[in-house]
Amino acid sequence: MDADRALLTPRGELVHGCADVLAGKLSRLPARTGRIDLDMSGVRFMDTAGLRFLDVLRAHGRLRSVPVTATGWTGQPRRILTLVGLDPTDPLRPPGREGTPTPATTPVAEAAAKRPPAREEEVERLRASIAARPAVDRARGLLMTAHGCDSDTAWQILRETAHLSGTPLHTVAAAVTAEVDRSGPRAPEEVRKALATALARRLRAPRA
């Protein structure tokens, strides 16, 4: 708190349950709170639950009659806001008009209705990527355990394997999971070769 201003700084990922966490935090703010600002620069990933997060923030501002902002978006979360038609510098503002939306609408709903048809294919790819995230995270965790590497290195191994084999990342993740924990059918030959190359490059001991 800074006088009557509340500054919230979310960190990590906006996924299922994040809107409930925000609602709980907002309900515990002091009664004197006259403004709520969220610094989103520490958020590195969000799925569609992140949009519900924004709706909860906006609804709280309307209920308490206090201004609310969510600024500082970067990376993948900023890209999602752009894809769904929200302004990443001020995603709580209704697109294409000034003022406050009617209670029956939200910035997310209005943005979806106004989204250009040309973006639909990219939005669908984004949805598919988000749906595949749990498999990718599992494969990354298995690589970290099996090879003693950190999260960033495991991610680079997956990315490089996908690039070298010409295989989608979610397919590589499934193949890596099968290869590392010996579950299910063996990974295709091209993926196994690409994985071996990526492991050799990323885990090579530094020279003295």
Q: What is the pLDDT of residue 127?
A: 58
Of residues 91, 89, 47, 92, the one with CA closest to residue 72? 89
- Integer Cα distance of 173 and 168 in angstroms: 9
Q: What is the pLDDT of residue 177?
A: 82
Place of tokens 């406050």: 100
- Integer Cα distance of 156 and 57 in angstroms: 35
Provide CB contacts within 8 A for 19, sequence distance 6+.
49, 52, 53, 55, 56
Domain made up of 5-124: CATH architecture: 2-Layer Sandwich (3.30)
Q: What is the pLDDT of residue 184?
A: 64
Which is it for the CA torsion 205, 206, 207, 208, positive or negative?
negative
Cα separations in angstroms, 180 against 126, 155, 183: 27, 15, 8
Question: Strand 35-39 and strand 43-46: pairing?
Answer: unpaired
Cα separations in angstroms, 129 against 39, 61, 171: 25, 32, 11
Angle at 85 between CA 82 and CA 86, to 5 degrees: 75
Provide CB contacts within 8 A for 148, sequence distance 6+.
none
**Residue 48 φ then ψ, to 5°:** -65, -20
Domain ranges within the chain, ordered by starting residue = 5-124, 132-203
Query: Quick check: 84 and 51 in contact, CB under 8 A?
Result: yes
Cα separations in angstroms, 80 against 34, 90, 104, 107: 29, 13, 23, 14
Sequential pLDDT tens for the chain (208 residues): 999 999 999 998 888 788 899 999 999 999 999 999 999 999 988 877 788 888 899 999 999 999 999 999 998 888 888 877 788 888 887 554 444 444 444 555 555 555 555 455 655 566 566 556 778 888 888 888 888 888 888 888 988 998 899 888 888 888 888 777 666 677 788 888 998 999 998 887 554 3
Q: What is the pLDDT of residue 66?
A: 94
CATH topology of domain 132-203: Arc Repressor Mutant, subunit A (1.10.10)
Helix (H) / strand (E) containing 108: helix 107-114
| Chain center to CA of 23 | 19
Query: Quick check: 42 and 74 in contact, CB under 8 A?
Result: no
Q: What is the pLDDT of residue 103?
A: 43
Angle at 163 between CA 157 and CA 164, to 5 degrees: 90
